C-alpha cells in the first residue's frame, strides 16, 4: 500500500459543507515536482480498460494519465486493444490479458499476475471500454476493491454495481477497516440513476442522493453532467458549474478518469485528486473550445490543452 495515502489522511468534514471548485481552491493543492526525481518518484498507474470494439477509451485514459505527470503508466487490456495503444502511446507500458474464459484460460496464473501488478500500482482505474459481459471483469473489480491502494471505477465497471449492488456496497465499506482509500466512482447521471435504480430522479434531488450515496458507501462520488458534483464520504460536497457543450462527446469521461487516476498516484489525498481533475479537465476543455470551437473540438484535444490548465494553478 502507498504509504503516502491512507484512509486516515482524509479530513474530518462538516456534513453540511458545500463549496465551489475554482482556481483558488485547486491552486491551494500543492503538487510539486523534484527536478532531481526519477520515474519511480511520481507514481505508478495501472489502467484496466479497453476491448476489441472500444480501443479509443483505453488510449484516451492512458494518454491523460501520462499527461498528468505520473512516472509510469501501465495498460492492462486484451491484446487486440493494446495494438493500437502501442502505436499511439509509446510511453505507456502494457500488460496483455486475453481473458476469454472459454478458451483454456488459466485463472490461477492470472490471479497471481493480478496480485503482482496491483501491488506495483499506486493507483488503479477500471472501466473505460471494458467488456462488462465478460464475468472475469467482476473478479478483477472485486480484487481491486479489496486490494488496490487507490481505485477509480468508471464507465462499464459501474454495470457490475448496478447488477449486484449489495455485494459491492459491502466491499466498498470494508476498505475503511483495511485502511484503504475510499474508492472514487465517476458516473454520469444516467449511470448514477442505474446505480440507485431511480430513473426519474433529477436536479437537487439527484445531487442529494449522490451525497447520501457517497456517505453510505464510503466512496468519493464524481457525478458528471453539465454541472459536476463531487461528494465525499463525510458529507462534504463540491460543485463545478461551468457549461461547455464541446465536452458533450464520447471520450470526455475517459480523459477525466485517466487524469484522475494519474493524480491519485501523486497527491496525498484522493479527495484532492478528484477536485483537481474535475477543475483541470474543465479548464482544458474551455481552452480547447476557445481555440478550436465547441463543435470542432474532441476529447483528445482536451488532453492537449492540459498544460494550459496546469499553468492556471501554478503546476509547472
Mean pLDDT for the stretch of residues 102-108: 75
pLDDT digits (tens, 9 = 90+) for 172-193: 999 999 999 999 999 999 999 9
The residue among 8 and 132 whose pLDDT is bigger is 132
Say how far residue 203 (Cα) sits from the centre of its chain.
Answer: 24
Alpha helices, H only, 107-163:
107-120, 136-147, 158-163
pLDDT digits (tens, 9 = 90+) for 4-52: 444 434 444 455 689 999 999 999 999 989 999 999 999 999 999 999 9
3 state DSSP class of 124: strand
Position 105 confidence tier, pLDDT thresholds 50, 70, 90: confident
pLDDT digits (tens, 9 = 90+) for 157-173: 999 998 999 999 999 99
Instruction: Name the DSSP letter for residue 32.
Output: -
What is the rounded CA–CA span in Å between residue 261 and residue 44?
Answer: 10
Mean pLDDT for the stretch of residues 191-209: 95
Entry pTM: 0.94
Residue 152 has pLDDT above 50, yes or no: yes
Mean pLDDT for the stretch of residues 151-162: 96
Strands across the sheet containing 123-126: 18-20, 237-240, 228-231, 219-223, 183-185, 151-153, 123-126, 44-48, 72-77, 93-96
What is the rounded CA–CA span in Å between residue 175 and residue 187?
Answer: 20
Contact between residue 70 and residue 42 where contact means Cβ atoms under 8 Å apart: yes
For the chain, helix (H) and strand (E) counts, in that order, are 13, 10
- pLDDT of the residue at 135: 87
Say how far residue 93 (Cα) sits from the centre of its chain.
Answer: 18
Picking from 196, 220, 218, the residue whose alpha carbon sits closest to that of residue 278 is: 220
- pLDDT of the residue at 142: 97
Contact between residue 61 and residue 257 where contact means Cβ atoms under 8 Å apart: yes
Instruction: Name the DSSP letter for residue 223.
Output: E
Residue 47, phi then psi, degrees to nearest 5: -120, 115
Residue 303 has pLDDT above 60, yes or no: yes
Q: What is the mean pLDDT of the chain?
A: 93
Q: How do beta strands 228-231 and 219-223 pair?
A: antiparallel
- pLDDT of the residue at 102: 59
Picking from 211, 294, 222, the residue whose alpha carbon sits closest to that of residue 256 is: 222
pLDDT > 70: percent of the chain: 93
Residue 152, phi then psi, degrees to nearest 5: -110, 130
Contact between residue 155 and residue 127 where contact means Cβ atoms under 8 Å apart: yes
- pLDDT of the residue at 17: 86
Residue 101 has pLDDT above 70, yes or no: no
Picking from 184, 182, 175, the residue whose alpha carbon sits closest to that of residue 143 is: 175
- pLDDT of the residue at 10: 42
Instruction: Name the DSSP letter for residue 38.
Output: -
pLDDT digits (tens, 9 = 90+) for 218-275: 999 999 999 999 999 999 999 999 999 999 999 999 999 999 999 999 999 999 999 9
Picking from 226, 199, 224, 195, the residue whose alpha carbon sits closest to that of residue 212 is: 195
Residue 65, phi then psi, degrees to nearest 5: -65, -40
Amino acid at each position: 500500500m502507498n504509504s503516502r495515502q491512507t484512509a486516515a489522511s482524509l479530513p474530518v468534514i462538516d456534513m453540511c459543507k458545500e463549496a465551489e471548485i475554482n482556481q483558488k481552491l485547486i491552486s491551494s493543492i500543492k503538487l510539486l515536482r523534484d527536478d532531481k526525481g526519477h520515474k519511480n518518484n511520481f507514481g505508478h498507474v495501472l489502467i484496466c480498460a479497453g476491448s476489441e470494439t472500444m480501443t479509443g477509451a483505453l488510449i484516451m485514459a492512458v494518454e491523460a494519465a501520462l499527461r498528468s505527470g505520473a512516472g509510469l503508466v501501465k495498460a492492462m487490456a486484451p491484446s487486440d486493444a493494446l495494438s493500437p495503444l502501442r502505436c499511439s502511446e509509446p510511453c505507456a507500458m502494457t500488460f496483455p490479458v486475453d481473458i476469454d474464459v472459454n478458451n483454456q484460460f488459466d485463472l490461477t496464473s492470472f490471479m497471481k499476475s493480478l496480485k503482482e501488478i496491483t501491488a506495483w500500482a499506486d493507483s488503479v482505474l477500471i472501466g473505460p471500454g471494458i467488456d462488462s459481459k465478460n464475468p472475469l471483469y467482476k473478479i478483477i473489480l472485486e480484487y481491486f476493491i479489496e486490494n488496490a491502494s487507490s481505485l477509480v471505477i468508471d464507465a462499464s465497471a459501474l454495470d457490475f454495481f448496478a447488477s449486484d449492488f449489495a455485494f459491492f456496497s459491502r466491499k466498498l465499506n470494508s476498505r475503511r477497516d483495511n485502511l484503504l482509500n475510499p474508492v472514487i466512482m465517476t458516473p454520469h447521471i444516467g449511470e448514477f440513476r442505474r446505480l440507485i435504480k431511480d430513473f426519474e430522479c433529477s436536479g437537487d434531488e439527484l445531487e442529494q442522493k449522490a451525497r447520501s450515496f457517497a456517505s453510505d458507501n464510503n466512496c468519493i462520488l464524481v457525478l458528471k453532467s453539465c454541472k459536476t458534483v463531487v461528494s465525499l464520504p463525510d458529507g462534504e460536497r463540491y460543485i463545478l458549474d461551468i457549461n461547455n457543450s464541446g465536452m458533450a462527446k464520447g471520450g470526455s469521461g475517459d480523459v477525466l478518469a485517466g487524469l484522475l487516476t494519474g493524480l491519485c498516484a501523486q497527491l496525498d489525498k484522493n479527495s484532492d485528486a478528484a477536485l483537481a481533475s474535475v477543475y483541470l479537465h474543465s479548464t482544458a476543455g474551455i481552452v480547447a473550445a476557445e481555440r478550436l470551437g465547441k463543435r470542432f473540438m474532441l476529447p483528445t484535444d482536451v488532453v492537449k490543452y492540459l498544460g494550459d490548465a496546469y499553468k492556471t494553478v501554478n503546476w509547472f
